[in-house]
A and B are shown apart, each in its own frame.
Chain A
Amino acid sequence: MSKFKKNSRGGGPTVNTASLPDIVFMLLFYFMVATTSKEVDPTVKLIQPKARYTEDLTPYKQRSEIDFIYIGKPNKSSREQEFPEGALSLDNVAQTSRDPDDLYNTEKIGEWKTQKFDAKKLKTNKPIGEIVTCIKADKDTPINIIWKIREKLEDVKALKIAYAVNQKGRKKE
């Protein structure tokens, strides 16, 4: 003598999942727009210093007018002793060179930069002086190693350099 009709089929009513793909697609598009693709994972560990009033590198990345150099402690802790000042990792030298030690060599930077530039030549019509070289360094890196890189870049006339940092919130006025 129940007042409510019982569902004759026993189980609960089915939930319509037809709009689930739409929701997921919405999420997908959000992430596609809001994020940028990761470059190669560096072979060194680094903690970037924090600073304010920086410039966003995204436009340069979109036009692929930027190359990255990483400076930090080697991932393999057994090699840490070899590089007291910090090891160097160029984003793709590991793939082009058979000698793993090249990864950590400042002498190769000029060569690396010109190689990268030659690969880009077809895409951009900018001179090598306009292609940014971004240095991502650990906060304890002595500036010496960065200056060595600068000199090498100067030799190949790649005259735009960027010092990467993590952005920190604004100081309160």
Chain B
Amino acid sequence: MARREIPEINAGSMADIAFLLLLFFLVTTTMEKDQAYIRDIPEESKVPPENQEIQTRNVFHIYANNKDQLLLVDRNGPGNSVPVKNIENLSEDIYKWYLSNRKPINKKMADMFPNPGNNESFPQYYGMSAKDCEIEIEKFEKSLTQIKDPVKSKTVAKDIREYEVKSRLFKKFYGDDEKVQLINVKAHIRIEIQPKTSYELFTQIQSEVEEAICKVRNEIALNQFGETYEKIRTKASIENDKKYDEDRKKQKLLQILVPQRVIEILTKK
């Protein structure tokens, strides 16, 4: 019996179908990725704030008014504010604010910031080791048994969790006893704006803040791990991959060493 020939399928229109699909995707998608600054809105606290004075050295206070003018409030000591002429230089100032009092990590830093610890208008650093963290946790746990107020005990429990993370990371990367340099717990960047400040200026300030923090983290990451923070962050953002767990730990450590504490407030006066 003669073999029947299989009829050939005309594939000429296949290209047309593929083109249709291609055009559909071209039309419905965008090339540019959404870029943004992600921030947390502070939760309204039920516990009345303890009236504690915050030294001006611990606050990097940026003030933008209705006319989009910038001022660094009390930067050179109380009552001594500095106007900002060029916003591009703001990140430089924040970078200095972060690192001036830190123990220098390399020679470049040592040249750039002489006599660390003695600069009066910048926040102080303190040392803490994994062991110190464990002592703190013990203290907190003791106090937790005596607190009856549920709101307060919740905040203490949160503190304990934070210290646990710290002690685990310090132990991993620095061992038990090495004192890790940490910035003053109250040190923060404060962005104060008025109602008519433009969104553009606001994002520019955010950009400068982000740039400074990124640079400080890069500096420390390069010294510690031999690669930049940005690289670590990109790897850490790949989810569900065990290969990058190490990078996620590194990222967490850098976020603890150089905390991004930004407070945004609107003043109506």
Contact = CB atoms under 8 A, between A and B. Distances in A.
| A and B part of one assembly | yes
Interface of A: 17-18, 20-21, 24-25, 27-28, 31-32, 34-38, 49, 51-59, 61, 71, 132, 134, 137-144, 146-147, 150, 153-154, 157, 159-167, 171
Contacts of A52: 207, 210-211
Q: Across the A-B interface, give the 8 residue pairs with the lowest CB-CB distance, nearest first.
A: A35-B29, A51-B207, A139-B200, A54-B35, A24-B18, A144-B195, A162-B36, A53-B210
A166 B147 CA distance: 48
B210 to A, nearest CB: 4
B189 to A, nearest CB: 14
B204 interface: yes
Given A143-B199, A163-B39, A171-B88, A53 B207 contact: yes
Nearest to B42: A159
Given A32-B25, A71-B199, A164-B36, 5 more contacts: A31-B29, A53-B210, A140-B198, A143-B198, A154-B41
Interface in B1-51: 11-12, 14-15, 17-19, 21-22, 25-26, 28-44
B173 interface: no
B11 A153 contact: no
A149 B42 CA distance: 14
Nearest to B13: A21
Interface in B129-155: none
Contacts, number: 156
A142 B15 contact: no
24 contacts: A21-B15, A24-B19, A28-B18, A49-B200, A54-B207, A57-B33, A57-B35, A57-B36, A58-B34, A59-B239, A137-B199, A142-B197, A142-B199, A143-B195, A143-B199, A150-B41, A154-B43, A159-B41, A160-B38, A160-B41, A162-B37, A163-B39, A163-B203, A171-B211
A27 B193 CA distance: 48
Nearest to A137: B199
A164 B266 CA distance: 19
B43 A159 contact: yes
Contacts of B203: 49, 51, 139, 163, 165
A159 B34 CA distance: 20
Given A53-B214, A144-B195, A147-B266, A58 B33 contact: yes
B193 A143 contact: yes
B244 interface: no
B202 interface: yes
Contacts of B26: 31
A171 B211 CA distance: 10
B93 to A, nearest CB: 15
Contact of B206 (A51, A141, A159): A51
Given A59-B239, A162-B39, A27 B196 contact: no
Nearest to B34: A57
B210 A159 contact: no
Nearest to A139: B200
A134 to B, nearest CB: 6
Contacts of B14: 20-21
B18 A25 contact: yes
B76 interface: no
A10 B41 CA distance: 77
Contact of B40 (A32, A59, A159): A159
Q: Name, among B198, B199, B206, the residue most crowded by chain A CB atoms within 10 Å (CB to CB).
A: B199
A154 B14 CA distance: 53
A126 to B, nearest CB: 13
A49 B210 CA distance: 15
Contact of A56 (B33, B88, B198, B266): B33
A40 to B, nearest CB: 12
A126 B103 CA distance: 40
